[in-house]
Amino acid sequence: MLDWSQCPVVERFPGKVSGAWLFIGTRVPVKALFENLEGGATVDEFIEWFPGVSRVQVVAVLEHTQRSLADV
């Protein structure tokens, strides 16, 4: 399981969106990025569909995932 607490572009609050990990400053769950990518969306489409999320945030989440998986 990924340790999202080490990713600087996400946050979690118990009473916000059921405690899911969110892109900082949004109500967009990190999970939504992966669901959309798995569904065939591009990063550009995701950013267009969720305008509160920046490309910098998306890249940081993807890099964090890559680093975490490399450590396994």
Domain housing 17: 4-70
Indicate the pTM of the whole model.
0.91
User: What is the structure's pLDDT at 14?
Assistant: 92
Tally of structural domains, the chain: 1
CA torsion sign for 43, 47, 49, 50 is: positive
Please report where in the chains the tokens 């890559």 appear, as a residue. Answer: 66
pLDDT of residue 17: 94
- What is the spatial distance between Cα 12 and Cα 27, in angstroms, rounded to a whole number? 10
What's the pLDDT score for residue 72? 62
Q: What is the residue-level pLDDT of the chain in tens, covering all 72 positions?
A: 789 999 999 999 999 999 999 999 999 999 999 999 999 999 999 999 999 999 999 999 999 999 988 876
